Amino acid sequence: MKNLTLTTDLLILALFLFSACGNQTALAPAKGEDTARPNIIFIMSDDHTTQAVGAYGSRLASLNPTPNIDALAADGALFSHVFCTNSICTPSRGNIMTGQYSQTNGILTLDDTLPPARQYLPMEMSKLGYQTAMIGKWHLKAEPAAYDYYHVLESQGKYFNPEFRASDAGTWPDNFVKYEGHSTDIVTDVTLDWLKTKRKKDQPFFLMHHYKAPHDDFEFAPRYADYLENTHIPEPANLYDQNQPDFGSEATRGVNDDLRNRIGTSVSDRHPYRSYTEQYGITKTPRDSATSAAYQEYLKRYLRCVKGVDDNLGRLFDYLKAEGLWENTVIIYTGDQGFMLGEHDYMDKRWMYDESMRMPFIMHYPAGIKAGTKSELLINNTDFGPTMLSLAGGETPDYMQGRSFAEYLDGSEPDDWRKSTYYRYWMHLTHHDVPANFGLRTKDFKLIFYYAQPYKEKLIGTGSMWWKEDSYPITATPVAWEFYDLKKDPSENVNRYDDPAYADVIASLKDDLREMREELKETDENYPRFQQVIEANWDK
């Protein structure tokens, strides 16, 4: 590792000197800059899914929603197999901050807190001599005190006229700073101010720059009101049930579809208490016409928020180039998870289906990444911290469960890299009516087990916050398995769990899943109620 770091440092220095000679105006470092090690900027948007990043070539790519992000990918590396271990805001951020899975770091649900003593990533960066800053959406409740500087949105954060808590504005939790304007613009303004006035030029920096957008309910800046207004947004075929008759299981549809209207909030009017058809007041007939109209409104609002993020990143990137920081800064762009954009008639995230589980992940680093690199390395968000620490010249601490992929930024894949990644969603039927589940995703297959039990027994019998009445209490729902052949069925429309042709594959994946749960300390030792259900249904 030490020899690798030395070689990398020399390469960085050589390439920097070469680029500086060729473009002294845009790329020359400011006087007194420390260029021996790269700066690192970790950019994360909330709920920005791969389907809405042009570089990933999805059905939305023709709309050109992200030209600045796409250019970043073209000049760097695009990773196509990056997944979260729990598709929901707080646990995903906990994984990134700790390099640990949820039962190890204690961040299982939206209700959990990451105290300063476990804010490992900025702590380790500080040990390596980096100036650290956290700006934007934090969503981990406790003060981000492990950072040298923070300026974070209050709780979830408001889109308009947001409040922040700032390390230079008093004592937590009363250190409020209020702004007028749109949060995406303001987060960028705060970051630019930190780079201009608070950054120490004789020290490398580690900056986490996090947007609220494009989180539900997609309140875009007024200047984007006409964006895509007269454009038809391409629809996923499986938005409509008739196009996916073999999708799901009794866990997600019930026996003879008796829970199809109960499980998973929807774009159509399928879900009785939360759908975009109802939310946007769409009354068109027939039903598919109303669903299509709701989808169009949903996507336009969402993509207007995405456009705001991309435009603001253009501002940030222009500043980095003008100040000579572009060549010696590792820039990472990602979302905190994926997001369902109408696939399977679902909204939000939480699901283990790829649109929800997959994270966009783009890295730009001229000194260390060849332009146009594509990687299929199977990565999850516990790996982000170890990788950034490695790029900063450090090593992965023993307490982190993730693994650095800094040695494989050329698109290569070592033989000893993981062959599958683990997923776990805990918040059974909370907010968006997704059953509790866990499973494995390999490059070719996906195995999902819905154990479908409430996380806390005291929740049994109480209604979700989105329900208008308690007609549907939070109770256990049917337990079932789902299995998808991702090569033949990348949209996950056909559950092949009962197909005898896959019996050996499924048995092998079950063995791997059990072994991985033990290795990662995800065995539910503190939840005997779950263990009983799991063991009773493992071989069914």
Q: Looking at residue 2, what is its pLDDT? A: 37
25-39, 187-201, 244-258: the lowest-pLDDT one: 25-39
What's the pLDDT tens digit per position in 294-331? 999 999 999 999 999 999 999 999 999 999 999 999 99
Q: What is the mean pLDDT of residues 98-126?
A: 97
Helices (H), 269-383: 276-279, 287-322, 354-357
pLDDT confidence bin for 455, thresholds 50/70/90: confident
Domain membership flag for residue 42: yes
Q: Looking at residue 45, what is its pLDDT? A: 98
pLDDT confidence bin for 25, thresholds 50/70/90: very low
Q: Which two tokens stand for residue 457?
A: 């027994």
Q: What is the mean pLDDT of residues 394-400?
A: 98
Q: Quick check: helix, strand or coil at residue 171?
A: coil
Domain membership flag for residue 19: no
What's the pLDDT tens digit per position in 476-507? 899 999 999 999 999 999 999 999 999 999 99
Q: What is the mean pLDDT of residues 104-123?
A: 97
Q: Looking at residue 355, what is its pLDDT? A: 98
pLDDT confidence bin for 36, thresholds 50/70/90: confident
Q: Looking at residue 101, what is its pLDDT? A: 98
Q: Looking at residue 35, what is its pLDDT? A: 65
Neighbours of 9 (CB within 10 A): 15
| Burial of 435 from C-beta contacts in 10 A (0-12 / 13-18 / 19+) | buried
Amino acid at 171: T
Q: Looking at residue 428, what is its pLDDT? A: 94
Is 70 a residue whose pLDDT tops 60? yes
Amino acid at 50: T
Chain length of the chain: 540
Closest among 535, 340, 388 to 453, alpha carbons compared: 535
What's the pLDDT tens digit per position in 252-277? 999 999 999 999 999 999 999 899 99
Is 13 a residue whose pLDDT tops 60? no
Q: Which two tokens stand for residue 173?
A: 């939790």
Contacts of 136 (CB under 8 A, 6+ apart): 151, 152, 153, 187, 190, 191, 208, 209, 210, 211, 212
pLDDT confidence bin for 460, thresholds 50/70/90: very low
Share of residues in the chain with pLDDT > 90 (%): 88
Q: Looking at residue 476, what is its pLDDT? A: 87
What's the pLDDT tens digit per position in 147-195? 999 999 999 999 999 999 999 999 999 999 999 999 999 999 999 999 9
Is 461 a residue whose pLDDT tops 70? no
Domain membership flag for residue 509: no
Q: Quote the domain boundaries for residue 213.
A: 38-224+306-419
Contacts of 242 (CB under 8 A, 6+ apart): none
pLDDT confidence bin for 464, thresholds 50/70/90: very low
Domain membership flag for residue 346: yes
CATH number of the domain residue 138 falls in = 3.40.720.10
Between 462 and 515, name the one with better pLDDT: 515
Report d(CA 183, CA 174) in Å as an integer: 20
Is 469 a residue whose pLDDT tops 50? no
Domain membership flag for residue 108: yes
Q: Quick check: helix, strand or coil at residue 420?
A: strand
Q: Looking at residue 34, what is its pLDDT? A: 61
Domain membership flag for residue 424: no
Q: Which two tokens stand for residue 330?
A: 């590792």
Between 472 and 270, name the one with better pLDDT: 270
Domain membership flag for residue 427: no
Q: Looking at residue 415, what is its pLDDT? A: 96
Report d(CA 218, CA 341) in Å as an integer: 13
pLDDT confidence bin for 524, thresholds 50/70/90: very high
Mean pLDDT, the chain, as a whole number? Answer: 92
Q: Looking at residue 456, what is its pLDDT? A: 76
- Give the angle 230-277-286 at the CA atoms, nearest 5°: 85
Domain membership flag for residue 177: yes
Bridge partners of 82?
379
Closest among 341, 401, 477 to 100, alpha carbons compared: 401
Q: Looking at residue 122, what is its pLDDT? A: 98
Between 289 and 467, name the one with better pLDDT: 289
Number of structural domains in the chain: 1
